[in-house]
A and B are shown apart, each in its own frame.
Chain A
Amino acid sequence: MSDVLTKITETATDVKSKINKKQKPEVKIPIRSLKNVNYDPKVGYFELKGAKKVRALTVNTIKSFAQTLKMMTLSKQVIEGNDMATKREAYYVSKNWGDARFKEQPESDAVMDDIEAMFMVNREQLGFVPEEKGGDIAGALTVIDKDTSTGKEIKIDCTKFGSGAYSIPSSVEQLKFETDAKFILAIETAGMFQRLVKHNYWRKENCILISMGGVPTRACRRFIRRLADDKKIPVYVFTDSDPYGFMSIYRTLKVGSGNAAHINKYFCVPQAKFLGVTPQDIIDYKLPTHPLKDVDKKKIKDVLKNDPFVREHKEWRKALELMQKMGQRAEQQALAAWGLNYVMNKYLPDKIKETKTFLP
């Protein structure tokens, strides 16, 4: 019996015995927020502290309690049938639950997140998969997957996609890798990725290019983590120079987030380093800038005060304070001000020669 099925049975048994003893059944769910995480660089990711919220079965909570139990029955069915359900499908299955059905998908997603946190597993282990696209890969890498119908191994050569790219699947646990790449370059925007792919930048530097397309999905994070662990290759991250790039993208990739703290263990990439664009780069490369938006200013203030990751790393505090002082931000594409291929011919080679300038 799988670990998750055991946990489901234990929970259900506990609820049943409490009911029959005429006590209030309850479930304990860890509180998922930045306030309830610890950061230790040696561990490498945001770890949950102890705080848990207790949801007792009362008249007011009976509906969500019923929904939680029903969601567990769905998980049980899927795992036992060796099947899987997308988050959207789970939402549609609930339409059979009578009065306990969900009105909108965010409601069913929230219940799913609760069960994840309750069991300290990720939703793939519960048998649920997201519809989101994982991210794009190009470069010196061969991915070994299995044919879903024959079970035979398939080798996917990521150098052979021409101007296209290999897509990370939503579940990456079964993949194996072959590569001799020197590093992985994780890129924020699809536009920058396209430019580097088109000019075969990966061949020049013998590296793997990954397009995250904004905040990386769980699959993308897990893919990078497994690849980097397996093949012991460094991970460099290349984003816009703004609080969103630093925190929402880079910090989430490296140490995880407060909201998904129960699964950061699987989805963090502790070995990631920040290549750029740093606030210092804005000055060194004389990049065209835009003024910080109000949300940016607020975010900087907030993370300087509350984010355990920023509090831990003096280099990040300095970088953010520099940005705060400048009041300016810059995009990756701003490097084009010095010529369309300046980023490939000058910026990236310069940076990669001086990995000491990377932010932790």
Chain B
Amino acid sequence: MQTTLSENKKEISHAIEQAKKQRDISISEFFTKNRHLLGFDNPLKAISTTIKEGVDNALDAAEDANILPDVIVEVKQTTPERYLVTIEDNGPGIVKEQIPNIFGRLLYGSKFHKLSQTRGQQGIGISAAGLYGQLTTGKPVKIISKIGKNDPAHHYELHLDTTKNESEIAKKEIIEWDKDHGTKISIEMEGKYQRGKRSVSEYMKYTAVSNPHARLTLIEPDGTRIDYPRGTTDLPIKPKEIKPHPDGIELGILINMLKATKAKTLQSFLTTEFSRIGAGTAKKICELAKLYTNSRPSRIAKDEADNLLKAIRGTKFIAPPTNCLSPIGNELLTKSLKKEFDADFYASVTRPAAVYRGNPFVVEAGIAYGGKLPGDSASEIIRFANRVPLQYQQSACSSIKSITDIKWRQYGLQQSGKNIPVGPVVIVVHIASVWVPFTSESKESIAHYPEIIKEIKLAVQECGRQLGKHVRKQKKVKDEAKKRSYLEKYVPIIGDALKELLDLQDPDVMLINENLKDQLERSRKI
């Protein structure tokens, strides 16, 4: 088919028109349009997201420097709509050259490309909070940081230049700060402060459960001070970075890895780029894939890569190393629950590490039952991913799928159909992984991988079994008391009836009552 010249011209002019419109979308535009992804979709959530990001950073930094974390969060009301949120830690502090980058630029950080268990994963958090504050109040982010006893404390005020994704220093000075080291960040923003479900205090309480080594303090707008004491003085074992595990690797990723590797032979590619593949296993894989062990990785064609993947899938590997993971540990989790919840039964389980798509993960579960926990509503479910509480989108989370799949009646709780069990119960689920699969960018619920659902189910069931034992024992004690009162009530009535039927005298009746009571007490199993 022929096209005329004028038509050609028209198309070209269209392309030019469009090119004029195609430009970088500014960060602030992106932010405003995608607030919900970052957790700033409403005034209530804005404050809690800010605190969450700040506390996550504080804990990560302190642990990284082998310091027992001490974090103080303060929320102050400045105008009817505005709040000043301050997060102060005793971490190693930040060298002054890095302060503008860390707090003033989006997507700046060291965590994103790492394969190890960390709290934040995208480096977008705290600077997004600063940007939100700046957009709603025009106020800069204030930072104080000190890196050592003999070093000065630096005070910075930063504006974020949203077109350049750079920070502008509005003020910098050296001040007196009665702290050996640490960081304090203050952001003023439009917001709303509330108590109850999904509140800041709930977040702090949950964080205290998953971080027994941390001491947390919350000062609320009305001056209420809540302390969350430490449960242990042992720092968690530091998670290590690892190579991907061959289980669950996908073709696209394999091809990319083949292209990017520095290894000269296929065998050394397999042994150096993956964990848990030794020379022997590598040879077997190559044999299975009908490839030479000394082929150049970069020359492996797509078909061959496909065969290689099939060979990998057909091979059994040792589970990935678990020293890259840092679970809370069942004993500490129980201790944490005891510290934060007034119940009369506690159980916790830490599962052995498992793998989904080549990523090692560990699931932990805990249960608190009875005591002062409210008994007539659905049980409280606390979810953690890498020790971070997940407070939103509960129903979409794989942990809920696992919990509602369990038949709770066998453990002595009420449950209608496949719903969350009802009773005085708190159920805790923690998944620790080098890469936690979330269902969306807001990182509020864990994706439904069968391996993860299964592990959560096993962990919660184990706690459930212990709970069941406890509930049954409790019921037995209750039954005993009931039986005792039964005897008190009905033995005299039987004596009374026999008296009337047989015209007995009172001493006869007393003898009957005594004998009957004695016989029943004796036959009763305790």
- Residue numbers of A with Cβ under 8 A of B are 8-9, 12-13, 15-16, 19-20, 22-24, 57-59, 62-63, 65-66, 69-70, 72-73, 76, 97-100
A210 to B404, CA, bound (A): 61
Residue B518, interface by CB 8 Å? yes
Chain B residues contacting A9 (CB-CB under 8 Å) are 501-502
Give which listed residue, B486, B501, B511, contacts A20 with CB less than 8 A: B511
CA A70 to CA B501, docked complex, whole Å: 9
Q: Is the CB of B512 within 8 A of A16?
A: yes
**Does B483 count as interface, using CB distance less than 8 angstroms?**
yes
Contacts of A23 in B (CB 8 A): 519
Contact indicator A62/B486 (Cβ below 8 Å): yes
Given contacts A65-B494, A69-B494, A69-B497, contact A16 B502 (CB under 8 A): yes
B residues 53-102 with Cβ under 8 Å of A? none
- Between B483, B500, B501, the greatest number of chain A beta carbons within 10 A of the residue's beta carbon is seen for B501
> Please, which residues of chain A bring their CB within 8 A of the CB of B523?
24, 58-59
Across the interface, name the chain B residue whose C-beta is closest to A23: B519
Give A65 to B494 CA distance when docked, in angstroms.
Answer: 8
Looking at the assembled complex, report how far the CB atom of A326 sits from the nearest CB atom of chain B, in whole angstroms.
42
Q: Which residues of B contact A15 (CB under 8 A)?
A: 494, 498
Q: Is the CB of A22 within 8 A of B518?
A: yes
Interface residues of B in 244-281 (CB under 8 A from A): none
Smallest CB–CB gap between A338 and chain B, Å? 55
Q: Which residues of A have CB within 8 Å of B487?
A: 59, 62
B500 vs chain A, min Cβ distance (A): 4
B4-28 interface bits toward A, Cβ cutoff 8 Å, 1 = contact, 0 = none: 0000000000000000000000000
A113 to B445, CA, bound (A): 61
Q: Does A73 lie within 8 Å of B497, measured CB to CB?
A: yes
15 residue pairs bridging A and B, Cβ less than 8 Å apart: A12-B498, A16-B504, A16-B512, A20-B512, A22-B518, A58-B520, A59-B486, A59-B524, A62-B491, A63-B486, A66-B497, A69-B497, A69-B498, A100-B490, A100-B493
**B518 CB contacts on chain A under 8 angstroms:** 22
Enumerate chain A residues within 8 angstroms of B491, measured Cβ to Cβ.
Answer: 62
Q: How far apart sit A24 and B519, CA to CA, in the bound complex (Å)?
A: 8
Known: A57-B516, A70-B497. 16 other contacts (CB 8 A): A12-B497, A19-B519, A57-B520, A58-B523, A59-B486, A59-B487, A62-B486, A62-B520, A66-B497, A69-B501, A70-B496, A73-B497, A73-B500, A76-B501, A97-B493, A98-B489
Name the residue on A nearest B525 (C-beta). A59
User: Interface centre among A58, A62, A97, by most B CB within 10 Å?
Assistant: A62
The complex places the Cα of A3 from the Cα of B518 at a distance, in Å, of 34
Q: Which residues of A contact B34 (CB under 8 A)?
A: none
Contact in complex: A72, B501 (CB < 8 Å): yes
**A163 CB, nearest partner CB in chain B, Å:** 51
B515 on the interface (CB 8 Å rule)? Answer: yes
Please, which residues of chain A bring their CB within 8 A of the CB of B497?
12, 66, 69-70, 72-73
Please name all residues of chain B whose beta carbon is closer than 8 Å to the beta carbon of A12 when the two chains form the complex: 497-498, 501-502
Residue contact B493 to A13, C-beta cutoff 8 Å? no
Asked if A13 and B512 make an inter-chain contact with CB atoms under 8 angstroms apart, the answer reads no
| Contact, CB under 8 Å: A19 / B486 | no
**Which residues of the other chain, A, contact B486 by a CB distance below 8 angstroms?**
59, 62-63
* Least CB distance, A80 to chain B, in whole angstroms: 11
For residue A62, which residue of chain B has the nearest CB? Answer: B490
CB < 8 Å neighbour of A76 from B493, B500, B511, B516: B500
Once bound together, how far apart are the Cα atoms of A22 and B515, in whole Å?
6
CB distance from B475 to the nearest CB of A (A): 15
Which residues does chain A contribute within 8 Å of B500, judged by CB atoms?
A: 73, 76
Q: Which of B489, B498, B504, B523 has the most CB of A within 10 A?
A: B498
Q: How far is the CA of A98 from the CA of B494 in the complex (A)?
A: 12
Are the C-beta atoms of B519 and A16 separated by less than 8 Å? Answer: no
B residues in contact with A57, CB < 8 Å: 494, 516, 520
Specify the chain A residue showing the minimal Cβ separation from B524: A59
Closest to A64 in B: B490
Minimum CB distance partner of B501 in chain A: A12
Contact (A99, B502) CB under 8 Å given A19-B519, A20-B515, A73-B497: no
Interface residues of B in 463-514 (CB under 8 A from A): 483, 486-487, 489-491, 493-494, 496-498, 500-502, 504, 511-512
